[in-house]
Amino acid sequence: MATTYACPHCQAHVAVPAGTPQVTCGACRNVFAVGAAPPPPPMPMPMPVATGAMPMMPPGNMGAPPPPPQQQPQRRKALIVGINYVGQRGELGGCCNDANCLQHLFTTKFGLPQENIVRLTDDEHGRRDRNFMPTRQNIINGMRWLVSDVRPGDTLFFTYSGHGGSQQAGFMSDERDGANETLCPLDYSRAGEIIDDEINAILVAPLPPGARLLAIVDACHSGTVLDLPFITSHTRHRGQWEDQRGRVYKGTRGGEAVCISGCADDQTSADSSALSQSVNTGVMTFAFISAVEAGSRTWGEVLYNMHTKIHGNQDPSGGGRPGGMFGGGGMGPMMGMMAGGGIAGMLLAGLAGGMDGGGGGGSGGRGFSQIPHFSASEPFDLNRPFVI
């Protein structure tokens, strides 16, 4: 029977047969007498760990699961453009009023902080600082600012009230009507118009999943001015989405883009005092704000209420002066409902004298032929709640 001893020199374990007086360590060749060194201590036994128990972690966070990522705050930003083309051929009267009214709507109804709104207008606001004049370069810069560092959860607003145009598209264009829809900046005669392809590339293409863009464009030929692939209207499409996708992808990177346009690509939009009965506005802009302030609950109700504000209960091809949203009584009932803080009250007060007045411009009291349109990066149920 052998007994295990520890070498007094290197502590190696050495098995010594019974009765052996001395032994040579196999590790260090040290010779020692048996009994001169105590037997080695017993080997430590591992501590049992209960099933499902968390093993002990070393000090600090080493080996611990990483903390959850911090959620970025949701941001709301707006670029608002209104151009009256003061002193130019084709001068308008209500586009800067549209810009002022939409800024008020965004801050009071949609919760945008003033510091997150950039307004480009050719009124006193723009004349005080040329950086806020609606030139081509300033509009492009504003669009790039709007989508800069866009991330999931952001809601962006782009509005434009002014002249719109239509240009012959190139041979390789995928435009169904063979034309590019355009926006006309203040200096368009010198710097050029902004075509729909450029607007789509800047505002629509970068939107990531969870980000939203709402555009409101009150201009002639604006039905597809953002080049979004799906379009609908109350009368021409009866609320059904038309697929206008072409060879080139014009959607987002997973976000949602929706545009509310003043008319179809083959129509014109009116600048008139007929709806406000006080100062000039874009007809579509006034109809949109009225639909929001009337409490439209769904996107379909917004589209319907805009249509009835402009046309009453008539088809636009039927002629005749449009009645009010709540029947044939014009704006009287609506003005009464919105007195005391609404946009209509602002218009009646003329923004304390700061709004542009003027006569009936545009279509005046003869009725309007324009049909508001929705376009979108993806079709959606118009019964969806109108929540911005």
Q: Judge whether residue 386 has pLDDT over 60.
A: yes
pLDDT digits (tens, 9 = 90+) for 53-71: 444 555 555 556 666 666 6
pLDDT at 5: 72
Range of weakest confidence among 47-51, 137-141, 237-241: 47-51
Mean pLDDT over 99-118 rounds to 96
Of 198, 361, 177, 215, whose CA–CA distance to 279 is shortest? 361
Q: Which has the higher per-residue pLDDT, 207 or 7?
A: 207
Asked whether 79 and 160 are in contact (CB, 8 A), the reply is no
Cβ atoms of 330 and 323 closer than 8 Å: yes
- CB atoms closer than 10 angstroms to residue 303: 24
Instruction: Tell me what pLDDT residue 361 has.
Output: 35
**What gap in Å lies between CA 206 and CA 253, rounded to an integer?**
6
Residue type (1 letter), 191: A
Characterize the bridge pairing of strands 179-183 and 194-195: antiparallel
CA separation, residue 71 to residues 113, 151, 209 (Å): 20, 11, 15
CA 93 remoteness from chain centre: 29
Query: Which residue in 98, 86, 99, 109 sits closest to 142, CA to CA?
Result: 99
383 or 175: which leads in pLDDT: 383
Is the per-residue pLDDT at 170 higher than 60?
no
DSSP characters over 15-36: EEETT-SEEE-TTT--EEETTS
Q: Where are the alpha helices (DSSP H) in the chain?
A: 95-108, 124-128, 136-147, 188-191, 196-199, 283-293, 299-311, 332-338, 343-353
Q: What is residue 169's predicted lDDT score, i.e. its pLDDT?
A: 64
Per-residue pLDDT of 317-333, as tens digits, reads 443 323 222 222 233 33
Looking at residue 138, what DSSP letter applies?
A: H
Pairwise pLDDT comparison (287 vs 166), residue with the higher score: 287
> How high is the pLDDT of residue 70?
60
Q: What is the pLDDT of residue 360?
A: 32
What average pLDDT does the segment 292-305 reach?
Answer: 96
Strand order in the sheet with 117-121: 117-121, 76-82, 155-161, 212-218, 256-261, 373-376, 230-233, 242-243
Residue 364 is predicted with a pLDDT of 36
53-57, 220-224, 284-288, 358-362: least confident range: 358-362
The pLDDT value recorded for residue 248 is 87
Return d(Cα 191, Cα 249) in angstroms, integer. Answer: 28
What is the rounded average pLDDT for all residues in the chain?
Answer: 81
Instruction: Give tens-digit pLDDT for 232-251.
Output: 998 888 889 999 998 889 99
Confidence of residue 282 (pLDDT cuts 50, 70, 90): very high
pLDDT of residue 12: 72
For residue 235, what pLDDT is reported? 85
User: What SS3 state is found at 270?
Assistant: coil
Decide: 382 and 292 in contact? Cβ < 8 Å.
no
- The more confidently predicted of residues 359 and 289 is 289
163 is catalytic: yes
pTM, two decimals, is 0.73
Q: Residue 298 above 60 pLDDT?
A: yes
* Mean pLDDT score, 176-188: 89
Specify whether 184 is catalytic.
Answer: no
pLDDT above 80 (res 371): yes
Asked if 331 contacts 279 with a C-beta cutoff of 8 angstroms, the reply is no
Q: pLDDT higher for 145 or 50?
A: 145
In this predicted structure, the answer to whether residue 304 has a pLDDT above a threshold of 50 is yes
Extended strands (E) in the chain: 2-6, 13-17, 22-24, 31-33, 76-82, 117-121, 155-161, 164-168, 179-183, 194-195, 212-218, 230-233, 242-243, 256-261, 271-272, 281-282, 373-376
Whether residue 336 has pLDDT greater than 90: no
**Can you give the pLDDT at residue 363?**
37
Query: What is the pLDDT, as a whole number, of residue 187?
Result: 98
Distance of CA 336 to the CA centre of its chain: 33
From 25, 95, 101, 163, active-site residue: 163
Mean pLDDT score, 352-368: 47
pLDDT tens string 10-21: 677 667 777 777
Q: Which of 96, 220, 259, 263 is catalytic?
A: 220
With 80 as the cut, is the pLDDT of residue 6 above it? no
pLDDT of 214 over the 60 cut: yes
Question: Rounded to an integer, what distance in angstroms lies between the CA atom of residue 184 and that of residue 221?
Answer: 11
Residue with tokens 């109804």: 109
Q: Mean pLDDT throughout 106-111?
A: 94
- CA–chain centroid gap for 66, Å, is 31
User: Rounded CA gap, 373 and 212, in Å?
Assistant: 18
Question: Quick one: pLDDT at residue 355?
Answer: 56
Could you give the CA distance from residue 33 to residue 244 in angstroms, rounded to a whole number?
99
